[in-house]
Amino acid sequence: MARYDYKNPTPGKANWHSGVAYDVGVSDNMLYTNSTGSMGKMTVFIRERATGKISQRTGISEQIGNFGVIWINWKGKKITAEKLLELKK
């Protein structure tokens, strides 16, 4: 059994979510940045639906109550993954 390479995630192994203009894929290489596990970093892939181009970003996750939000820097703005799925380009 091959070991998963956390430093080089691939879009094929990401969990994809469909949006209006963009699809967001979240990889499973979560790195917790504090001792309680409420903040972390992971690799996020963004696929433009019109062109099929895939971009890679580092997502910052934050646990707020029972909701886990992922922040992504996209085109110079810090937005959540949910807002990116709603964008119409």
- Using a 10 angstrom Cβ sphere, with 0-12 exposed, 13-18 middle and 19 or more buried, the burial of residue 26 is buried
Cβ within 8 Å of residue 59, ≥6 positions away: 26, 41, 42, 43, 44, 70, 71, 72, 81
CA 85, 52, 54: angle at the middle one, nearest 5? 70
Q: What is the pLDDT of residues 41-59, one digit of tens each?
A: 889 999 999 999 999 999 9
Lookup: tokens for 62: 């934050």
What is the pTM (predicted TM-score) of this model?
Answer: 0.84
Residue 31 is predicted with a pLDDT of 81
